[in-house]
């Protein structure tokens, strides 16, 4: 009978031994946790004490500058300002959405601007602007401040003169004169004789041109006109 029950007894003893081992392991783990907690408390106690001391000191300083009435007034102001704060937050949301929209449009706008600048460079605008800068530098170098002041005083007269010079009849006369002088310069001919010049006076156009030259010389010699 003892031989028949021996396996059951051994199985029970094995289970009992496993349970005892498990309980011992649990107790050991709890002991380790308690030791870790004790070490943590031991380490953190000075830090906590220092933090509390600092907090107490700060509260004492704040207590000297801020009273309970100040705190109550701040709370009332915050409560009254809640609608304004809400409106400000809504505006902030709107600005955020606007920034997102602008950031989405910035890329095609930048590409368009790049194309415009590229086209301007190909047409020579940048080179032209460089030459204008050189021209401005030459003007500043060659003319004094007094010259610029005198130009400002006479700018109206200069503009009137330019306006008169740009009239169609004046520009036509200048063009015809330039063409004639160029043609005369290209032709290697002998100077005309006095008889040829006298004969050319019979031409109405020659007499008309001579009359204009005489009128111009008269105008140049007019002292009153020069004074005006």
Read off the pLDDT band of 71 (50, 70, 90).
Answer: confident
Give the predicted TM-score (pTM) of the model: 0.30
Residue 2 is predicted with a pLDDT of 45
Has residue 3 got a pLDDT over 50?
no
Tell me, what's the pLDDT at 102? 65
**pLDDT tens for each residue of 78-119:** 788 878 888 887 887 777 777 776 666 666 777 777 888 888
Q: What does the DSSP 8-state code read for residue 41?
A: H
Helix (H, G, I), strand (E, B) or coil at 192: coil
pLDDT at 109: 73
- In this predicted model, what pLDDT tens digit does every residue of 40-60 receive, in sequence order? 777 877 777 777 777 777 777
CA 146 – CA 136 distance, rounded (Å) = 17
Q: How many residues does the chain have?
A: 228
pLDDT > 70: percent of the chain: 86
Convert the pLDDT of each residue in 166-187 to its tens digit.
788 777 777 877 777 776 655 5
Rounded to whole angstroms, the Cα distance separating 113 from 218 reads: 58
pLDDT at residue 210 in the model: 78
d(CA 118, CA 122): 6
CA angle at 123 for the pair 120 and 124, rounded to the nearest 5°: 90
In the predicted structure, residue 132 carries a pLDDT above the cut 50: yes
Q: pLDDT of 19-32, one tens digit each?
A: 888 888 888 888 88
Domain ranges for the chain: 10-65, 146-185
């Amino acid at each position: 009978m003892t031989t028949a029950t021996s396996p059951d007894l051994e199985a029970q003893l094995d289970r009992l031994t496993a349970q005892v081992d498990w309980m011992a392991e649990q107790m050991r783990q709890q002991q380790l946790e308690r030791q870790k907690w004790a070490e943590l408390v031991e380490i953190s106690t000075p830090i906590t004490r220092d933090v509390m001391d600092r907090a107490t000191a700060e509260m004492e300083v704040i207590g000297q500058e801020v009273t309970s009435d100040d705190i109550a007034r701040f709370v009332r102001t915050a409560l009254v300002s809640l609608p304004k704060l809400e409106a400000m937050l809504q505006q902030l949301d709107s600005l955020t959405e606007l920034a997102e929209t602008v950031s989405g449009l910035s890329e095609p706008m930048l590409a368009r601007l790049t194309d415009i600048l590229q086209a301007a460079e190909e047409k020579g605008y940048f080179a032209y602007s460089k030459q204008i800068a050189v021209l401005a530098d030459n003007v500043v170098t060659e003319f004094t401040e007094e010259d610029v002041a005198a130009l400002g005083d006479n700018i109206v007269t200069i503009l009137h003169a330019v306006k008169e010079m740009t009239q169609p009849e004046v520009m036509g006369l200048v063009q015809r004169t330039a063409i004639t002088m160029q043609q005369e310069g290209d032709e290697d001919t002998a100077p005309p004789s006095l008889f040829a010049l006298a004969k050319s006076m019979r031409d109405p156009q020659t007499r008309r041109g001579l009359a204009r030259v005489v009128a111009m010389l008269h105008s140049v010699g007019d002292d009153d006109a020069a004074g005006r």
